[in-house]
Structure 1
Amino acid sequence: MTYFRVFMAFIAELFSRRQLILEMTRRDFNAKYLGSYLGMLWAFVHPTVYIVILWFIFGYVFRSQPVSGVPYIIWLSAGIIPWFFFSDALSSATSSILENSFLVKKVAFSIGILPLVKLLSTLVIHLFFMVLIVLLFAGNGSIPPLQTLQIPYYLFASLVLLTGLSWLFSALIIFLRDIGQLVAMALQFLFWGTPIFWSVKQLPSKYQPIIKLNPVVYIVEGYRDSLINRVWFWEHWLQTVYFWVIAILLLLIGAVVFRRLRPHFADVL
């Protein structure tokens, strides 16, 4: 019960600073492209060019066959878009405290908002990716199904999972700098261990439940269920329950660890 009170106090503290979070998110997003001629346009040029490259490689070089009744590039984009958000957000949020160490010693500043700022800053790019995939559907002559309306649900699920992991890793990296390298290695492993370029159905049935223990699979497959497979999230109720147990547990652990270690940040930095 003590840990739950610590968690709720931490959440209330952050909620009271919601306006500051939004303002810092805007500044962080702008700062990424400060000094370049195109400025913030680079945030949208990069995903557009990447999608075009994938379209050329898989559409004209490898001539990949359609998957689930849609061109491979659309099927791939529906899985790689949520992965990019997860990977980029976690990487930047993990180092958010180290990058802003000058703020740690400011008593009035709530350090817990820094990982959230990185998550929200990355979210802007992700939303643009979502516009791109809708345009891909339109270019293919398809209309996104009704299940597309549940994309915000999977986006919220991603944010809950990322928030817990971000608080945990951004706190631990202050005391163990190797955490940054470990997170990078883990993301590489997860990239190939998550069905992004391949389908879960390609695995033998006995291995499919093992792959689904990875909570990122729930999100990636959720985007495809929403955009392509026309499946509602409650139809996979067992996997949904499993995901939320893991996500909420990580959120609690991340919040408690961050709040417990926060008083010692200034001593180490």
Structure 2
Amino acid sequence: MQSFSASPMYLLASLVKNRRLMFDLARRDAVGRYKGSMLGIFWSLLTPLLMLSVYTFVFSGVFKSRWNSGPASGSHTQFAIVLFAGMIMFNMFSECINRAPSMVLANTNFVKKIVFPLEILPCVYLFSALFHAFVSIAILIVAEFLIQGYVPVTALLLPLVLLPLCVLILGISWILSATGVFLRDIGQTIGIFVTALMFLSPIFFPVSSLPPRFQRFVYWNPLTFPIEQSRNVLIWGKSIDWAVWGIYFTLSALVAWIGFAWFQKTRKGFADVV
């Protein structure tokens, strides 16, 4: 039976070698979801624009909500931007993780092809999610400029905020996609977990608003760091916490390597199951 290398060098070589294939599949996935609709790819712009409008109306016009931390604490409209920034990070994570358990099962035609690099599938889904995330970020930046008259230069650091989150998403996706082939129930339960994670993440509230005894538990949430740091660089003009970033990236890389190793170890049995 064929064995597959779990070496990080093998993974990097595969990603470089198949980079064009990944981008082509990601483009097909991003565009394919709008196939047959009248507005087509324009939905990728319209959806986040509508969501931002809803957030602004509901939280600034109806609930008169204020962010109880940071420079946005005195503004109703900025609350919507702060909330939207957190939702962008969560939506990118949830889109990939919710699709991961059925990733291999949805591409059985690739499983039968020995020459197809199955390990790139999580990257394809991630690039598709990144496309929609960047569209939302562009809308956020425009809204921020219209509301407060400027966009902090620290917004240029956003790709570095996203990097460890993307690595973590890949690791979890490899684990779930491989496990989902053999344990189909995981696809039914992961949605519950992701929904719970949304309400346990500092999307609708600042961590500082929690009692001190609960704050340390929130920081164990893998979404807390990217959500807070994205707000810092995009909205509040603060730099990245590089010490925490280094720890987060190291742990994400470890999860990614474990996930890839698990995927490579189990993939030889995919064809027998699907």
Which TM-score band applies after superposition, normalised by the shorter structure? over 0.9
Query: How much has 1:263 moved relative to structure 2?
Result: 0.9
Equivalent residue number for residue 251 of structure 1: 256
Distance in 2 between residues matched to 1:123 and 1:259, nearest whole Å:
25
**TM-score normalised by the chain length of structure 1:** 0.92
Distance in 1 between residues matched to 2:127 and 2:15, nearest whole Å:
14
1:265 pairs, out of 261, 270, 273, with 270
RMSD: 1.8
Conservation of the 8 A alpha-carbon contact between 1:75 and 1:224: yes
Work out whether 1:137 is the aligned partner of 2:144.
yes
Query: How much has 1:81 moved relative to structure 2?
Result: 1.3
1:200 pairs, out of 207, 221, 224, with 207
Equivalent residue number for residue 82 of structure 1: 89
2:71 pairs, out of 69, 72, 78, with 69
Opposite residue 61 of structure 2, the aligned amino acid is: Y
Report the count of equivalent residues.
Answer: 265
* Aligned residues with identical type, % of pairs: 31
Distance in 1 between residues matched to 2:219 and 2:246, nearest whole Å:
12
In structure 1, stretches of 5+ residues that fail to align are none
DSSP 3-state at the match of 1:128:
helix
Work out whether 1:114 is the aligned partner of 2:113.
no
Any idea what the Cα deviations from partners look like across 1:112-171, whole Å, max 9, x if unmatched? 112211111111110011111111111213312222121010111221111111111111
Distance in 1 between residues matched to 2:207 and 2:101, nearest whole Å:
29
Any idea what the Cα deviations from partners look like across 1:68-121, whole Å, max 9, x if unmatched? 233211121121111111111222233221111121011111111122111111
Equivalent residue number for residue 49 of structure 1: 50
Equivalent residue number for residue 173 of structure 1: 180
Any idea what the Cα deviations from partners look like across 1:159-192, whole Å, max 9, x if unmatched? 1111111111111100001111222121111101
Distance in 2 between residues matched to 1:152 and 1:242, nearest whole Å:
17
Work out whether 1:212 is the aligned partner of 2:219.
yes
Distance in 1 between residues matched to 2:216 and 2:139, nearest whole Å:
31
Conservation of the 8 A alpha-carbon contact between 2:83 and 2:203: yes
In structure 2, stretches of 5+ residues that fail to align are 73-77
Distance in 2 between residues matched to 1:42 and 1:64, nearest whole Å:
28
Distance in 2 between residues matched to 1:252 and 1:54, nearest whole Å:
38
